[in-house]
Amino acid sequence: MSDRGKTGFEGEETAALYLKRKGYQILARRFRSRAGEIDIVARDHGEIVFVEVKTRGASAFDGAADALRAKQVRRLARAAELFLDIHNLDGTPSRFDVVAVDLENGKFHIEHFPAAFDLPDEF
């Protein structure tokens, strides 16, 4: 595994543990579909939460939270729609969170952005 892949994997593990400690029930990890991938799918107080984890190492110029682009938001929305359909959860309240994991001085710093973005009009 490359250093970048290892950092990303560690970031996702860190984010999942963080969410569990906050009381989220993890439903799926690395959900892959023809539309795209969702890092973590969880349940929080009756809502389905689709979580994008952004991990950045110490050498990154921008923070992890700044790394989400419009094209990726559209892919996440399509993948989320498929997840809901596959698991017969259509109509269940849902939202998109971002968990930013920044590696600084050998430690992970977590920032959680609940309801981080709205769905685009067309995806």
Within 8 A by CB and 6+ apart from 55, the residues are: 7, 8, 10, 11, 12, 64, 100, 101, 102, 103
pLDDT at 64: 46
pLDDT at 14: 93
Residues in the chain with pLDDT values less than 70 = 1-8, 57-68, 119-123
For the question of whether the overall pTM of this predicted structure is more than 0.75, the answer is yes
Place of tokens 């569990």: 20
Count of domains observed in the chain: 1
Is 17 within a domain?
Answer: yes
pLDDT at 61: 45
pLDDT at 73: 84
pLDDT at 103: 79
Is 122 within a domain?
Answer: no
Is 121 within a domain?
Answer: no
Is 55 within a domain?
Answer: yes
